[in-house]
């Protein structure tokens, strides 16, 4: 378990190191709902709407046009910390805290008022608890899944860190978006249905899986097709005995969503986007911007400099030969279909949208929830071929390049790249680094400036990697030999064999 916790700590520190982007409409809109519900007891965000363009207008009032799942999770956290934030000694420190980042502000901006510092601090704390911590723990779970699939500790550790740090999951694990949370919810439900803990009653596992799938849907509505695939897989793998508990767990998020929609829009249906103040033409094209798959969008989400997933994380291309090889694992054929269909579902869904690029974004943020379903087969291919020198070196080169590409873009200047720039790297990322304009991060508190502010994070990661890659201790070597001796075609036994 030491490797598990080291992976969790490394991921959490990495996600916490770079501060969430300020002046980000998407994040502000979600956080506005938290503030409105706790401070004002209403879903109306009229008091806060000036900080975002992502809002809906209905009956003369402003509401977030985002799904409320992420905001719901932030409510108890904000309610707990609000008395501390409003204490006079803490209020007095807000401007002093903000002065550390004064050089990162626009000269023509309004400066760091105490209320803006308070908002940024709330955003940061909620991001840590609701997004970064689950994402870091999920990295540990990803490591355990690889171990259960007979991957040795070192390549399993590299696979987990590769997913958490060398894909577009990384920037969204440190910001108040729902995309990485949805990735965690979907894949955890899949892993739970695949191999529920032996000590848990079956109804508990089923209810938790249903809850995770339901919360994924109310956090990002386009997750519904993927959630349906995983739900059907759970019934196939565990049998119809899971149906009552699966449905019961999924009903709770649904009830919360209906209650919210009735309070905000007077209807049980989620229609926030129908009343968006901006982009009405796009939202009313086709079905909520969906038309038919477009080659420009498919290419743009996969290989383009603009928003391409594989442009930023080329190591994920190893999933393609892994799918080919994995088809021969008949005992895991159902899992193979889930790992294939979930990414295809997201890709086809957003590849059919006329707004597929996702506004200001570091990479393809819309399809972040599908990444772990690609990363698992890619990591499996690396783990199974770890003893082959050529494959190991090639995989490490791809992982290193992916890490650099992801983090260079994620830390370029104070906003994610605009959708107005299609040559993202040439027009935005590289010029920002040449100017030394680096996103606000913990290193600036020391204080360090520009690219040097990232050096403490790199030192932490290098230290962690050295520990993870050190020669295995006697007990670990014995466990690794035992794991390697297991049949590779049945890494997780189906229910009938347990």
The predicted pLDDT at position 23 comes to 84
Give the confidence band of 458 by pLDDT, cuts at 50, 70, 90: very high
pLDDT at residue 241 greater than cutoff 90: yes
The stretch 271-295 carries a mean pLDDT of 71
pLDDT at residue 480 greater than cutoff 70: no
pLDDT at residue 481 greater than cutoff 70: no
pTM of the predicted structure, to 2 decimals:
0.91
pLDDT at residue 80 greater than cutoff 80: yes
CA–CA gap between residue 133 and residue 138 (Å, rounded): 8
Q: How far is CA 162 from CA 77, 132, 237, 397, in A?
A: 30, 16, 28, 12
Q: Which of 84-88, 236-240, 261-265 has the lowest mean pLDDT?
A: 84-88
Give the residue, 493 or 462, on which the prediction is more confident: 462
The predicted pLDDT at position 470 comes to 78
Contacts of 116 (CB under 8 A, 6+ apart): 98, 110
The stretch 446-454 carries a mean pLDDT of 93
pLDDT at residue 104 greater than cutoff 70: no
Q: Which of 87-96, 137-146, 225-234 has the lowest mean pLDDT?
A: 87-96
The stretch 308-324 carries a mean pLDDT of 97
Give the confidence band of 297 by pLDDT, cuts at 50, 70, 90: very high
How confident is the model over 367-402, as pLDDT tens digits? 999 999 999 999 999 999 999 999 999 999 999 999
The predicted pLDDT at position 482 comes to 54
Quote the mean pLDDT of the chain: 89
The predicted pLDDT at position 389 comes to 94
CA–CA gap between residue 189 and residue 230 (Å, rounded): 8
Output the furthest CA–CA distance in the chain (Å, rounded): 68
Q: How far is CA 228 from CA 172, 239, 253, in A?
A: 24, 15, 15
Give the confidence band of 92 by pLDDT, cuts at 50, 70, 90: low
* Residue matched to tokens 């910390």: 81
The predicted pLDDT at position 133 comes to 98
pLDDT at residue 278 greater than cutoff 90: no
The stretch 289-293 carries a mean pLDDT of 79
Nearest Cα residue to 10 out of 464, 468, 470 = 464
Q: Which of 23-27, 103-107, 289-293 has the lowest mean pLDDT?
A: 103-107
């Amino acid at each position: 378990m030491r490797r598990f916790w080291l992976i969790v700590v490394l991921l959490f520190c990495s996600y916490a190191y770079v501060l969430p982007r300020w002046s980000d409409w998407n994040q502000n809109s979600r956080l506005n709902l938290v503030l409105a519900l706790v401070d004002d007891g209403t879903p109306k965000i009229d008091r806060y709407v000036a900080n975002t363009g992502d809002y809906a207008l209905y009956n003369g009032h402003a509401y977030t046009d985002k799904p409320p799942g992420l905001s719901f999770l932030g409510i108890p956290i904000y309610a707990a910390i609000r008395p501390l934030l409003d204490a006079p000694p803490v209020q007095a420190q807000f401007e002093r805290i903000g002065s550390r980042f004064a050089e990162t502000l626009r000269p023509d901006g309004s400066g760091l008022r105490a209320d803006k510092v308070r908002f940024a601090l709330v955003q940061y704390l909620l991001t840590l608890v609701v997004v970064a911590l689950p994402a870091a723990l999920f990295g540990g779970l990803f490591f355990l899944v690889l171990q259960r699939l007979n991957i040795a500790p070192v390549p399993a550790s590299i696979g987990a860190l590769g997913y958490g740090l060398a894909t577009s999951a990384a920037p969204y694990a440190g910001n108040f978006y729902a995309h990485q949370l949805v990735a965690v919810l979907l894949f955890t439900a899949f892993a739970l249905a695949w191999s529920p803990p032996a000590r848990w009653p079956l109804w508990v596992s089923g209810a938790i899986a249903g809850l995770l799938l339901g919360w994924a849907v109310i956090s990002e509505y386009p997750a519904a097709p993927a959630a349906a695939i995983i739900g059907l897989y759970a019934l196939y793998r565990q049998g119809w005995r899971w149906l009552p508990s699966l449905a019961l767990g999924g009903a709770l998020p649904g009830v919360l969503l209906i209650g919210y929609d009735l309070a905000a829009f007077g209807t049980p249906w989620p229609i926030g986007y129908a009343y968006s103040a901006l982009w009405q033409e796009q939202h009313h094209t086709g079905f909520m911007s969906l038309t038919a798959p477009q080659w420009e969008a498919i290419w743009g989400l996969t290989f383009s400099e603009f928003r391409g997933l594989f442009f930023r994380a080329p190591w994920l291309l190893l999933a393609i030969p892994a799918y080919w090889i994995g088809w021969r694992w008949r005992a895991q054929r159902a899992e193979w279909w889930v790992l294939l269909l979930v990414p295809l579902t997201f890709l086809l869904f957003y590849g059919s949208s006329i707004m597929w690029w996702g506004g200001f974004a570091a990479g393809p943020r819309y399809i972040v929830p599908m990444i772990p379903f690609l990363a698992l087969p890619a990591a499996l291919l690396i783990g199974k071929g770890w003893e082959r020198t050529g494959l190991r070196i090639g995989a490490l080169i791809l992982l290193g390049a992916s890490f650099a590409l992801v983090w260079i873009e994620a830390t370029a200047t104070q906003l994610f790249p605009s959708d107005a720039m299609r040559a993202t790297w040439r027009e935005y990322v590289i010029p920002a680094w040449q100017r030394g304009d680096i996103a606000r991060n913990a290193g600036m508190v020391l204080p360090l400036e520009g690219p040097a502010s990232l050096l403490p994070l790199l030192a932490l990661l290098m230290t962690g990697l050295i520990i993870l890659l050190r020669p295995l201790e006697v007990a670990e070597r014995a466990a690794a030999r035992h794991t390697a001796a297991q049949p590779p075609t049945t890494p997780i036994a189906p229910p009938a064999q347990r």
